[in-house]
Amino acid sequence: MTENIKPKINEQKIISTKNPVFNHLVHNQKSYLLLLLILVLTIPLLTNYSVGKPMIMGGESYYHLSQAENAKFAQFYYAPLSLALQLIPEGLLFLIPLLLAISSLFLFIKIMDKTTISNKLTFFFLLILFISPPFIFTFTTISAYSVYLFLVILGFFLLSKKNEQWHYIAIIPFISATFFDFYSSIFLIVILATHIHLVNKENNLKNYIILISTTIVALINVLLLKIPLVLGPFHFEQKIPDLISDLGGLSGINFFTIMLAFLGLFITWKRKGFYVFYLFLPVAILGYSYNTQTIFHLTILISFFAATGFIKIFQRDWNLVLLKKFTFYLLILGLLFSTLTYFERVPDIGPSQEDFEVLTWSNNNIEINGKVLSIPENSYFLEYFMKQKPFSEINVKGSKELSQKALNALYIDELFPILEGNNITTIYINQHMKDELPNEQGILFLLKNERFKIVHSQKNSEVWLFVPEES
């Protein structure tokens, strides 16, 4: 009888330390999480490489690269990236976010070792975070938030050191983290305030100094350096798809993760010691509703609650062990499913191989004296590869309508005044535009006019010149 019951008890312990496999995973989490991290971050890079695309993708990457190339004195915070651009060949730039991710992982685990947060929670939190599309996207692109996260973790790592001198040095990464956008600074200030609330209150002066100096610098950055509230946008916002990757957004959260987070919130509601984490929710939700670019902050929080929910659900004994196991594997499959779906879409994220080839060729071979007409989504690629000013920029209000007016013009009488009035001398058409714009009308049809000359093309990417009337 006892022999019959024993295996049942063990079968309940899917995520218990009594489960040898899980125990091994948690005890060696640093190695396994590192492996997972490298795997999830190299898959998009290798996918890009295999289809001939530049390994670094996304508009944000090329925005920062352009800024770093042309940084003025007031943009001194781009100095590290400018330096990196000079030291690292362009083909190896992908190493920057990869190294930031690995460093952040090691520092984070070191910090967690010194807290009362269980290894199990750390393991699942990082597991869920690493396979989330916003995390993967952030750390496979040159993004502000990858550096921001690294700096915040570095700051807390220094704060967690026993030697108090390190604590004051922590001010440097914290202050540096305020140079990206004001929203991230607010998030950091809330984290620092929470930290003060949680740590030993007798020894809090230095923490107050850190908090106050970070707040002051953040305010200076906003008021004097005109740091934006939220960096970007780098794509056109869609509130729901940008939140849920399974609905086709650029890099939303897995739907399974969101559901797990809801369960986590529901199950741990009013749990002692957890209420502090709920404070971050309104900040993250408000940030997201203002600008979907802040999905990264929300992802971190959602992943935390999802991990809490996951542990809470599977830590306790279920009435039906089979159902527990089935649900467990179902969840793991569901989480992976969304991530794999995201990987499938990586080749669709610009710039494409043709974008790169045609724009670089144009930069090297033709002299352009005017603006370039294309869709706003291409604006950062035009600036970086072609070194030209785009007619419509994604981060300029009304830009979409302006470019649509030109791209959807039905007659040359409509189009030519727009081109001439805005000093547009070049038109860049790519595959995405050919898929979306009608062939029989609009710009694709009007390009047949003799005043347009094609100067270079590869597959469906083309550069056209708009010839002035006098010539």
Partner 1 sequence: MNKSPKYWILAIFIITLTLRLILAFSVPNLTYESYYHVRQVESIKETGLPLYQDPLSYGGRDNTFHPTFQYVGAFFTIFLPIEIVAKLLPNILIAFLIPIVYLIGKKITNNPVSGILAGLVAGFLPILYSTNSFVPATMFLPLMFLTIYAFMNIKNSFYLYLYLLCFIVLSFTTPATALILIGYVLYMIFSMLEGKRINWAELELMIFSLFFFLWAQFLFYKNTLLNEGLGFITQNIPQQIIEIYFPQVSIAQSLVLVGIIPFVLGIFVVYQSLFQLKTPKSFLLISLAISTTILSWFKLMEYTLALSFFAVIISILFAISHQEITDYLQKTKFSRWKNKLTTVLIILTITTIIFPAIVHALNQDTPSNEEIEAFEWLNSNTIEKARIASSLKEGNLVTYYSQRKNIMDGRFNLIKDVNERFQNINAIYTTKFQTQALDIFDTYGTTHVVLTPKTKGHYQIEELDYVKGECFELIYDKETKIYKVKCEITKTKND
The residues that touch partner 1, with contacts defined as CB under 8 A, are 238, 240-241, 246-249, 255-256, 259, 263, 313, 316, 318-320, 323-324, 326-327, 330-331, 333-334, 337-338, 341, 345
- Phi, psi of 21, deg, nearest 5: -65, -50
**Of 72 and 270, CB closest to partner 1:** 270
SS3 (DSSP) at 409:
coil
**Of 105 and 127, CB closest to partner 1:** 127
**Of 146 and 303, CB closest to partner 1:** 303
Q: How far is the CB of 239 from partner 1 (least distance, A)?
A: 10
Q: How far is the CB of 124 from partner 1 (least distance, A)?
A: 16
Q: How far is the CB of 333 from partner 1 (least distance, A)?
A: 7
| CA-to-CA separations, 407 to 291, 349, 375, 392, 434, in angstroms, rounded | 27, 22, 8, 11, 11
**Of 245 and 293, CB closest to partner 1:** 245
| 235 burial type by CB count under 10 A (0-12 exposed, 13-18 middle, 19+ buried) | buried
Q: What is the distance between the alpha carbons of residues 428 and 392, in angstroms, rounded to a whole number?
A: 12
Q: How far is the CB of 256 from partner 1 (least distance, A)?
A: 6
- SS3 of 45-102: the string is HHHHHHCCCCCCCCHHHHHHHHHHHCCCHHHHHHHHHHHHHHHCCHHHCCHHHHHHHH
Q: How far is the CB of 322 from partner 1 (least distance, A)?
A: 9
**Of 330 and 396, CB closest to partner 1:** 330
Q: How far is the CB of 337 from partner 1 (least distance, A)?
A: 6
195 contacts 156 by C-beta, under 8 angstroms: yes
SS3 (DSSP) at 374:
coil
**Of 68 and 302, CB closest to partner 1:** 302
**Of 114 and 316, CB closest to partner 1:** 316
| 24 burial type by CB count under 10 A (0-12 exposed, 13-18 middle, 19+ buried) | exposed
Name the β-bridge partners of 253. Answer: 244
Q: How far is the CB of 324 from partner 1 (least distance, A)?
A: 7
String of DSSP letters for 249-303: -SS-B-HHHHHHHHHHHHHSTT-TTTHHHHTHHHHHHHHHHH-GGGHHHHHHHHH
Q: Look up tokens 């990464």; give the residue.
A: 173
**Of 194 and 341, CB closest to partner 1:** 341
Q: How far is the CB of 446 from partner 1 (least distance, A)?
A: 21
SS3 (DSSP) at 410:
coil
